[in-house]
C-alpha cells in the first residue's frame, strides 16, 4: 500500500468566470492529506462546487495552482488526469444504455484492461458497495432504486482504484432514511480504501458526519475555516462560521462524541461518594443507595447528544452508564457534559495551531 | 380490380423504383444531416443559420424546387434525389439536435469527469442515447420523402408518381387510385417499421420500477 498518494494542494487558487465581476473562488489555499475526507460546505454562491471541479479540471483556475502529490494538475493530459480521479455526482450520471457491470467497468475499459479483468474488478466493486453482482450486474440503471444507483456510482468511481475521489452532493438525491445508512456504509468502506476525498455538500450535518475536516466557504469564495468538526463548533474562526454552524452548535458538538470518551466516574469511586447502586438478579441497576429508583441509564456507545436528551427527559442529574448487557460500569453526570463542552483550552489551542500553520503556509 | 391483375409487374417495378429513389435520397440526406446536426448542436448561432436555410428550402413547393433544379442538372433521378435530400435536411438536422439535447446533462458530465475523450463520448454515449429521439425524426422525414418523391415523376424520375401521372393523362382513375394507394401503403409500412426500430433502439427503458428501495 502506497499511503502517501493523493495529497491535494490548492495554492492561491482563484476562479473568475468570464463576464463575472467577482471571483467564485478567491485565493484558496488548503492542503488535503492522503486518505482524508474534507467536506466543502457553504451557502450557494460560495464556490464550493467550482473549487472541487477545478481538481479534475472540469473548470480551470484563473490563477493559482492545484497540485496532486506535488504535481501540477495541468501537467498530465486532461483525460489521463481525470481517469485517475474518482468522480461521483448527485444525479449519478450512470449510462442508461449500459448494464450495471458495464457502467462500473467504464474507466478500466478506458485504461485498456482486458475484459476478463474488468469483469472481475466490476463484480468485486459491486460486492464492496453491497450489491450482489449476480443479481444486479446485468440490470440497466433504470431498473435500480435511487440508493442502488448511487452505490453503483460509487463503485464506478472506485473501479480503477484512484487515490483521489471527488463527490458532488453524492447523497443529496437519496431519501433521508436511506441517506444516513449509505453515509455510514461509505465511511466503513473508506476505512478500508483510504481515499483522499473531497465531498461538496450544502448539508452541515452531512459535512460533520463525513468530513475528517470541514472547509467552510463564504460568499465570494473565501475560505472561512478549515478545521475538524469539533474545532469548527467550539472555535469558529469568524462571525460567518459562527452563524453558519448555528445556534445549536453545542448540541452538534455533543453529537460528535460518545459516552465512553468522557472521563466517567468508575463505579467503586461513585460508591465511595454515596452513589452506590443496587442491581437485580441479571445485574441491571434498580435503585440507588439512597433508595431512589434508577429512572434512566445510558449506554457506552450512545452519543453525548442522545445521553443529554435522555437525562433531560428523565429530569436526572446523573445516571449509571451500562454495557451492552445493561450492567452498570460507571457513572455519568450532567456536570461531565457541561465540562466536556467547556474545555476550551484544548479546542482553541488546536484551532490556534491550525490557523498559525495556515498562515505560515500562506506566507 | 382488373387493372392490378393485368399490370401488377408494372406496379411492382414502379414501387421498387420508388423505394430505391427514396432510400438513396434518405441515405444521402442522413450522411449530410448527421455531421451537420452534431456540428450545430449546442451552438445557437449555427443552429439559426442551418435551420434557417433548411427552413427556406422546406417551404419551397416541391414542384418549384424540381423546376429550378432541372436547368442545372437536367431531367430524371438526379434532380429528384437532390430535391428530396434538401427537403429532408430540416427535419433530420432538427432530429439530430433534439436527439443530442435529450442526452441527460448529468450523464455527459459524468462521462467528461471520468476522462472519456470527446470523440468517444459522441460515439459511445451521445449518439446511442440520442438514437430514439433521432429515429422519430427520421420517421417523419422518411414519410415526407416517400410522399414528395411522387412529384418527381413530373421530371422523369420514375416511381409510383408515374402511375398517377399516367392515370391523369389517360383519364384512367384506376391507375391514379392504385398509385396513390401504393404510395400510402409504402409510407405506412415504413412508418410502422421505423416505430419498431425506435422501440428497439432503447432496450434499457420500459422495465423500470423493479428495484426495491436501496
The string of pLDDT tens digits covering residues B195-212 is: 999 888 887 775 444 433
For residue B99, the chain A residues in CB contact (below 8 A) are none
Q: Contact A79/B202, CB-based, under 8 Å?
A: no
Q: What is the mean pLDDT of chain A?
A: 88
Measured CA distances, B52 to B38, B86, B90 (Å): 16, 13, 9
End-to-end CA distance of chain B: 65
Dihedral sign, CA of A160, A161, A164, A168? Answer: positive
For A143-154, the pLDDT digits (tens) are 998 889 999 999
Q: What percentage of chain A carries pLDDT values higher than 70?
A: 93
Minimum distance, in Å, between the CA of residue B111 and any CA atom of chain A: 8
Measured CA distances, B182 to A93, B5, B49, B163 (Å): 47, 15, 37, 10
Nearest beta carbon to residue B109 from set A81, A89, A147: A89
DSSP-derived 3-state class of residue A227: strand
pLDDT recorded at residue B209: 40
pLDDT recorded at residue A59: 95
Nearest beta carbon to residue B114 from set A83, A141, A181: A83
H or E element, residue B112: helix B105-113
pLDDT recorded at residue A74: 95
Nearest beta carbon to residue B207 from set A142, A148, A178: A142
Q: Contact B107/A78, CB-based, under 8 Å?
A: no
Residue of A nearest to B121 (CA): A95
Q: Contact B115/A143, CB-based, under 8 Å?
A: no
pLDDT recorded at residue A199: 96
pLDDT interval class at B213 (50, 70, 90) = very low
Residues of B near A (Cβ–Cβ under 8 Å) read: 104, 106-117, 120, 125, 128-129, 202-205, 207-214
User: C-alpha grid cell for residue B152?
Assistant: 418527381
CATH class of B8-200: mainly alpha
For A209-264, the pLDDT digits (tens) are 899 999 999 989 999 999 999 888 888 999 999 888 877 778 888 888 888 888 88
Nearest beta carbon to residue A110 from set B109, B116, B204: B116
DSSP-derived 3-state class of residue A126: helix
Partners of residue A217 on adjacent β-strands: A223
Higher pLDDT, A65 or A292: A65
For B53-88, the pLDDT digits (tens) are 888 888 888 888 888 888 888 888 899 999 999 989
Q: Contact B107/A82, CB-based, under 8 Å?
A: no
CA distance B66 to B46: 27
Check for a shared fold between A8-246 and A259-341: no
Q: Domain locations in chain A?
A: 8-246, 259-341
Its CATH architecture, for the domain A259-341, is Roll (3.10)
Residue A178 pLDDT more than 70? yes
Q: Contact B204/A79, CB-based, under 8 Å?
A: no
Region of poorest pLDDT, from A20-29, A277-286, B77-86, B135-144:
A277-286
pLDDT recorded at residue B214: 35
Q: What is the DSSP letter of B122?
A: I
Higher pLDDT, B207 or B143: B143
Measured CA distances, A342 to A234, A243, A337 (Å): 9, 19, 9
Q: Contact A96/B129, CB-based, under 8 Å?
A: yes
Residue A337 pLDDT more than 50? yes
User: C-alpha grid cell for residue B117?
Assistant: 475523450
Minimum distance, in Å, between the CA of residue A146 and any CA atom of chain B: 7
Q: Which residues of A38-74 are buried (b: 16+ CB within 10 A; e: fewer)?
A: bbbbbeeebbbbbbbbbbbbbbebbebebbbeeeebe
pLDDT recorded at residue B204: 78
pLDDT interval class at A142 (50, 70, 90) = very high
- What DSSP letter does each residue of A279-332 carry, written as one string? E-TTS-EEEETTS-B----EETTSBHHHHHHHHHHHT-SEEEEE-TTS-EEEEE
For residue A97, the chain B residues in CB contact (below 8 A) are 128-129, 202-204
Q: Contact A79/B117, CB-based, under 8 Å?
A: yes
Alpha-carbon A64 to chain mean position: 27
Q: How many helices (H) and strands (E) does chain A have?
A: 16, 16
Minimum distance, in Å, between the CA of residue A306 and any CA atom of chain B: 27
CA distance B33 to B95: 9
pLDDT recorded at residue A164: 96
For residue A83, the chain B residues in CB contact (below 8 A) are 114-115
pLDDT interval class at A363 (50, 70, 90) = low
Residue B173 exposed, middle or buried by CB count within 10 Å (0-12, 13-18, 19+): exposed
Name the strands in the sheet holding A298-299, side by side, starting at the edge strand that comes first in the sequence: A265-266, A328-333, A318-322, A298-299
CATH number of A8-246: 3.40.50.300
Q: What percentage of chain B carries pLDDT values higher than 90?
A: 60
Select the residue from B201, B210, B211, B212 to test the A interface by mutation, using most A Cβ atoms within 10 A. Answer: B211
Amino acid at each position: 500500500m502506497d499511503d502517501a498518494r493523493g495529497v491535494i494542494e490548492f495554492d492561491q487558487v482563484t476562479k473568475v468566470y468570464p463576464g463575472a465581476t467577482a471571483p467564485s473562488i478567491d485565493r484558496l489555499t488548503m492542503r488535503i492529506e492522503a486518505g482524508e475526507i474534507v467536506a466543502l460546505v457553504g451557502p450557494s454562491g460560495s464556490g464550493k462546487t467550482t473549487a472541487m471541479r477545478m481538481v479534475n479540471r472540469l473548470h480551470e483556475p484563473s490563477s493559482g495552482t492545484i497540485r496532486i502529490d506535488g504535481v501540477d494538475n495541468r501537467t498530465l493530459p486532461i483525460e489521463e488526469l481525470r481517469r485517475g480521479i474518482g468522480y461521483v455526482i448527485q444525479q449519478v450520471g450512470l449510462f442508461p444504455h449500459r448494464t450495471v457491470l458495464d457502467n462500473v467497468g467504464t474507466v478500466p475499459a478506458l485504461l485498456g484492461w482486458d475484459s476478463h479483468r474488468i469483469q472481475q474488478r466490476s463484480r468485486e466493486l459491486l460486492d464492496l458497495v453491497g450489491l450482489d453482482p449476480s443479481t444486479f450486474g446485468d440490470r440497466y440503471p433504470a431498473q435500480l432504486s435511487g440508493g442502488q444507483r448511487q452505490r453503483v456510482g460509487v463503485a464506478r468511481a472506485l473501479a480503477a482504484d484512484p487515490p483521489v475521489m471527488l463527490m458532488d452532493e453524492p447523497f443529496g438525491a437519496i431519501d433521508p432514511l436511506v441517506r444516513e445508512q449509505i453515509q455510514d456504509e461509505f465511511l466503513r468502506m473508506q476505512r478500508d480504501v483510504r481515499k483522499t476525498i473531497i465531498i461538496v455538500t450544502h448539508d452541515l450535518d452531512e459535512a460533520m458526519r463525513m468530513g475528517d475536516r470541514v472547509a467552510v466557504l463564504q460568499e465570494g469564495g473565501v475560505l472561512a475555516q478549515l478545521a475538524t468538526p469539533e474545532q469548527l463548533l467550539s472555535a469558529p474562526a469568524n462571525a460567518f462560521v459562527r452563524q453558519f454552524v448555528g445556534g445549536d452548535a453545542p448540541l452538534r458538538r455533543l453529537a460528535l462524541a460518545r459516552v465512553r470518551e468522557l472521563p466517567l466516574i468508575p463505579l467503586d469511586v461513585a460508591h465511595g461518594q454515596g452513589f452506590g447502586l443496587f442491581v437485580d438478579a441479571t445485574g441491571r441497576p434498580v435503585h440507588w443507595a439512597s433508595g431512589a429508583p434508577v429512572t434512566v441509564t445510558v449506554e457506552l456507545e450512545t452519543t453525548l447528544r442522545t445521553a443529554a436528551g435522555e437525562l433531560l427527559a428523565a429530569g436526572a442529574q446523573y445516571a449509571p452508564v451500562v454495557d451492552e448487557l445493561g450492567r452498570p460500569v460507571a457513572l455519568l453526570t450532567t456536570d461531565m457534559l457541561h465540562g466536556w463542552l467547556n474545555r476550551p483550552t484544548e479546542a482553541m489551542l488546536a484551532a490556534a495551531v491550525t490557523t498559525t500553520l495556515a498562515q505560515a503556509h500562506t506566507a | 380490380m382488373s387493372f392490378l391483375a393485368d399490370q401488377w409487374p408494372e406496379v411492382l417495378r414502379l414501387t421498387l423504383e420508388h423505394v430505391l429513389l427514396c432510400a438513396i435520397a434518405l441515405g444521402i440526406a442522413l450522411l449530410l444531416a448527421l455531421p451537420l446536426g452534431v456540428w450545430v448542436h449546442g451552438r445557437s448561432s449555427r443552429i439559426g443559420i442551418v435551420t434557417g436555410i433548411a427552413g427556406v428550402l422546406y417551404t419551397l413547393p416541391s414542384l418549384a424546387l424540381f423546376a429550378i433544379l432541372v436547368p442545372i442538372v437536367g431531367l430524371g433521378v438526379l434532380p429528384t434525389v437532390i430535391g428530396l435530400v434538401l427537403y429532408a435536411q430540416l427535419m433530420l438536422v432538427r432530429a439530430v439536435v433534439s436527439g443530442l439535447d435529450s442526452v441527460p446533462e448529468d450523464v455527459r458530465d459524468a462521462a467528461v469527469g471520468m476522462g472519456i475523450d470527446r470523440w468517444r463520448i459522441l460515439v459511445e454515449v451521445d449518439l446511442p442515447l440520442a438514437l430514439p429521439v433521432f429515429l422519430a425524426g427520421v420517421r417523419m422525414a422518411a414519410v415526407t420523402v416517400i410522399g414528395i418523391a411522387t412529384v418527381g415523376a413530373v421530371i422523369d424520375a420514375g416511381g409510383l408518381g408515374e402511375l398517377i401521372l399516367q392515370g391523369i393523362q389517360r383519364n384512367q382513375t384506376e391507375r391514379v387510385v392504385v398509385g396513390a394507394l401504393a404510395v400510402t401503403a409504402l409510407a405506412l409500412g415504413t412508418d410502422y417499421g421505423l416505430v419498431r426500430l425506435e422501440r428497439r433502439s432503447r432496450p434499457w427503458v420500459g422495465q423500470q420500477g423493479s428495484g426495491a428501495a436501496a
